[in-house]
Amino acid sequence: MRYKSQAVAYWYFAVAMVLFGLQLVFGLLSATKYLGPDPLLYVLPFDVTKVIHTNLLIVWVLTGFMGATYWLVPDESRTELHSVKLAYIQLILWTLMGVTAVVGYLFRYGTGNKLLEQPLPHKIVIVICMLIFLYNIGMTIKKSGRFTTTEGVLVLGLVSTAVLFFPALLEYKNYTVSIFYRWWTIHLWVEGVWMMIMGSFLAYLLIRLSGADREVMEKWLYVIVGLVFLAGIVGTAHHYYWVGVPYYWLPIGGFFSALEPLAIIGMAMYAYGAMRRSGLSHPNNLALHWTLGSAIFTLFGAGLLGLAHTWPSVNKWTHGTLVTAMHGHAAFYGAYAMIVLAMIAYALPSLTHSRKDHNPAIGYWAFWLQLGGMFGMTISFATAGIGQVYLERIMGMGYLDAQLKIQVHFIMLIASASMFSLGAGLFIFDFFRRRPRFEVTETDALGNDVNDPVIVTERRL
């Protein structure tokens, strides 16, 4: 750790880890309900567990983004954070918001707008937290006078995330209008501005882990951001096929969203190329795994599986089925969960007493069990979804009858989700078993701790 205030990141990561664990509990609960009978039907029905599952996901990923930003900005701008106190106030407010929202959902207190279910008071707290966060980051950069491209793209992504939350504050009586604007937040987050956030974390990690040339990395970052903008913004129309808006959205949505994987292919090639050139020699091999893993899993989950159902003639059959859940899991995990885990894996050795074991076996188990588990879950949702589309939409079978025929896929889902949860559990355990250590250490040009015994030994070899 180069700057004392980077310690703030540890507490953001700690909160993210707890919420990640809770998210999985509610995911498993949701999945078992598909197999029935459900003893919790009147206490915790499916709609409640699913809302909690997806909301916890969004909150922990955003907590991870904030923690990672508080880690990255001092490093890039070469200065202490503007205000550590504000960062902690923000974390407390944010955590209280997240926890009370979840408790509220248990009592069905929410807007019912998918993924944006937070009640208005909670949404206002979200806005306040975002403003505190952006102010703190903005002032840090302003004071330092050093502003890198990586940071610029990150800040642009974070500011746009806040701005795009505004449509979510409004409520519309007309369902079509409400759905129309919901995607301005949800789609433009995950397929637009969050890609910028992910791209900049990726650039930061690649520069430090592979020693790749900053200028080359940052030029690529511009290309990716350009492509995201070109395709992602108009690509919003791939959610406008069947919601009651005019027909012309179909070709527009199909064409532009089909271009979106180009940016994702670019990103994976860029990560792979940087790693190949470096020969994977950085001592923090686990962080390398998570970084490259994130770029490649995004290509699979968002690029390939997004393309699989984005064309109107396919989406006509698959819309709102388990095929959507297949893509939602793989894409969200690859792009946003894994990049947060990569930032944690990179920062953790500097934030904790773990000097002698940068790459403990438990870390690799956590990585491979999660990867294998998530792959299995994706295949389970895919096979269930294809069966569902065929039986329900093509053969005209009733929803519940079709569900009975695809039970085996839910057994597969629970088996692979258990493997995933074991991996996630190990990651969380590995995080908390290390005692925090917040001391400033001398670093080399790449930001690596020069007194770190692992790095010193590697150099001697």
- What does the binding site for Fe ion look like in residue numbers (CB under 5 A)? 187, 191
Picked from ligand HEM, Fe ion, none, the partner binding residue 306 (CB below 5 to 8 A depending on kind) is ligand HEM
Nearer to ligand HEM, 212 or 267 (CB): 267
Minimum distance from residue 365 beta carbon to ligand HEM (Å): 17
How many CA atoms lie within 13 Å of 360's alpha carbon, on the beta-carbon side? 17
Binding region for ligand HEM (CB under 6 A): 24, 27-28, 30-31, 50, 53-54, 57, 114-115, 186, 190-191, 238-239, 257, 260-261, 298, 302, 306-307, 309-310, 315, 319-320, 322, 324-325, 327-329, 331-333, 335, 337, 417, 420-421
Minimum distance from residue 422 beta carbon to ligand HEM (Å): 10
Q: The tokens of 416 are what?
A: 């692979």
| Angle between helices 285-298 and 361-388 in degrees, nearest 10 | 10
**Dihedral class, residue 38 (left if φ above 0, else alpha if ψ from -120 to 50, else beta):** beta
Picked from Fe ion, ligand HEM, none, the partner binding residue 335 (CB below 5 to 8 A depending on kind) is ligand HEM
Nearer to ligand HEM, 126 or 323 (CB): 323
How many CA atoms lie within 13 Å of 287's alpha carbon, on the beta-carbon side? 24
Minimum distance from residue 153 beta carbon to ligand HEM (Å): 16
Nearer to ligand HEM, 238 or 282 (CB): 238
Minimum distance from residue 265 beta carbon to ligand HEM (Å): 10
Minimum distance from residue 87 beta carbon to ligand HEM (Å): 25
**What single-letter amino acid sits at 71?**
W
**Helix, strand, coil share (%) of the chain residues, nearest 5:** 75, 0, 20
Minimum distance from residue 239 beta carbon to Fe ion (Å): 6
Nearer to ligand HEM, 3 or 34 (CB): 34
Nearer to Fe ion, 289 or 327 (CB): 327
Minimum distance from residue 98 beta carbon to ligand HEM (Å): 16
Picked from Fe ion, ligand HEM, none, the partner binding residue 1 (CB below 5 to 8 A depending on kind) is none
Picked from ligand HEM, Fe ion, none, the partner binding residue 421 (CB below 5 to 8 A depending on kind) is ligand HEM
Nearer to ligand HEM, 109 or 255 (CB): 255
Count CB atoms within 10 A of the CB of residue 371.
21
Q: The tokens of 317 are what?
A: 């059959």
- Cα–Cα dist 3/75, whole Å: 7
Minimum distance from residue 136 beta carbon to ligand HEM (Å): 27
Q: Is the dihedral of CA 186, 190, 194, 195 positive or negative?
A: negative
Nearer to Fe ion, 137 or 263 (CB): 263
Environment class of 76 (CB within 10 Å of its CB; exposed 0-12, middle 13-18, buried 19+): buried
Q: Is the dihedral of CA 270, 276, 279, 284 positive or negative?
A: positive
Picked from Fe ion, ligand HEM, none, the partner binding residue 332 (CB below 5 to 8 A depending on kind) is ligand HEM
Q: Is the dihedral of CA 254, 259, 263, 268 positive or negative?
A: positive
Q: The tokens of 390 are what?
A: 């065929």
Point out the residue whose Cβ comes nearest to Fe ion: 187
Picked from Fe ion, ligand HEM, none, the partner binding residue 114 (CB below 5 to 8 A depending on kind) is ligand HEM
CA 67 to chain centre: 13
- Cα–Cα dist 222/242, whole Å: 34
- Cα–Cα dist 136/81, whole Å: 7
Nearer to ligand HEM, 1 or 340 (CB): 340
Q: Which residue in the block uniquely carries the two structure tokens 């095929």?
A: 323
